[in-house]
Amino acid sequence: MDFDLTEEQSILKDSIERLLADNYGFEQRKKYMASPEGWSAEMWRSYAEMGLMALPFAEADGGIGGGPVETMIVMEALGCALALEPYLPTVVLGGGFLRLGGSAAQKAEFIPGIVGGSRKLAFAQAERHSRYDLHHVETTARRDGSAYVLSGAKGVVLHGDSADTLVVTARTAGGTRDEGGIGVFLVDANAAGVSRQGYVMQDGLRAAEILLDGVRVGTDAVLGDPEGGLSLVRRVVDQAIAALAAEAVGVMSAMHALTLDYIKVRKQFGVPIGAFQVLQHKAVDIYVALEQARSITLYATMMADSDDAAERQRAMHAAKVEIGRGGRLAGENAIQLHGGVGMTMEYAIGHYFKRMTMIDLTFGDHDHHLRALGEAGSLFAA
Partner 1 sequence: MDLRFTQEEIAFREEVRAFFRDNVPEATRQKLLDGEMVTKEEYVAWTRILDARGWGAPHWPVEYGGTGWGPMKQYIFLEELQRYPAPQPLAFGVNMVGPVIYTFGNAAQKARFLPRILNLDDWWCQGFSEPGAGSDLASLKTRAVRDGDHYVVNGQKTWTTLAQYADWIFCLVRTDPEAKKQEGISFLLIDMKTPGIEVRPIVTMDGGREINEVFLTDVRVPVENRVGEENRGWDYAKFLLGNERTNIARVGMSKQRIARIRELAAREMSGGRPLIEDPRFREKIAAVEVELKALEMTQLRVVAADARRGNTGRPDPASSYLKIKGSEIQQATTHLLMEVMGPYAMPYQPEADDFSNEPPIGPGYGSHAAPSYFNNRKVSIYGGSNEIQKNIIAKAVLGL
In angstroms, the CA 343 to CA 256 distance is 16
Query: Residue 2, interface with partner 1 (CB under 8 A)?
Result: yes
CB-count exposure of residue 131 (10 Å: 0-12, 13-18, 19+)? exposed
312-351: which residues touch partner 1 (CB under 8 A)? 317-318, 321-322, 325
Decide: is 380 part of the binding site for partner 1 (CB under 8 A).
Answer: yes
Among 293, 304, 316, 348, binds partner 1 (CB under 8 A): 293
CB 200 within 8 A of CB 38: yes
- Provide the mask over 26-65, with x wherever binding to partner 1 is found by CB under 8 A and - wherever it is not: ----------------------------------------
Which residue stretch of 107-115, 229-237, 276-284, 349-357 sits at the interface with partner 1 (rule: CB under 8 A)?
A: 276-284
Query: By C-beta, is 176 or 292 nearer to partner 1?
Result: 292
Closest distance of CB 63 from partner 1, Å? 19
Asked if residues 118 and 60 have their Cβ atoms less than 8 Å apart, the reply is no
How would you label 201-227 residue by residue, b for 16+ Cβ within 10 Å and e otherwise? eebbbbbbbbebeebebeeebbbbbbb
Q: How far apart are CA 243 and CA 92, in angstroms?
A: 8
Is residue 260 close enough to count as binding partner 1 by CB under 8 A? yes
- Cα-based angle 108, 185, 319 (whole degrees, multiple of 5): 95
- Give the whole-angstrom CA distance, residue 101 versus residue 50: 26
Question: Considering only residues 41, 48, 50, 69, which one is a binding residue for partner 1 as defined by CB under 8 A?
Answer: 69
Closest to partner 1 by CB, 182 vs 318, is: 318
**Contact by Cβ (8 Å): 207, 159:** yes
- Alpha-carbon distance of 252 to 292, in angstroms, equals 11
Distances 162 to 34, 85, 166, 189, 213 between C-alpha atoms, Å: 15, 10, 10, 9, 19
> Does residue 378 belong to the site contacting partner 1 (CB under 8 A)?
yes
358 is a site residue for partner 1 (CB under 8 A)? no
**Binders of partner 1: how many residues, by CB under 8 A?**
44
Comparison of 28 and 280: residue with beta carbon closer to partner 1: 280
d(C-alpha 335, C-alpha 358), whole Å: 16
Q: Which of 11, 284, 341, 343 binds partner 1 (CB under 8 A)?
A: 284
Window of 127-135, 186-194, 195-203, 277-285 that interacts with partner 1 by CB under 8 A: 277-285
Centroid of chain to Cα 292 = 19
Smaller CB separation from partner 1, 98 or 334? 334
- Positions touching partner 1 (CB under 8 A) are 1-6, 9, 69, 260, 263-264, 274-275, 277, 280-281, 283-284, 287-288, 291-293, 295-296, 298-299, 301-303, 317-318, 321-322, 325, 370-371, 373-375, 378-380, 382
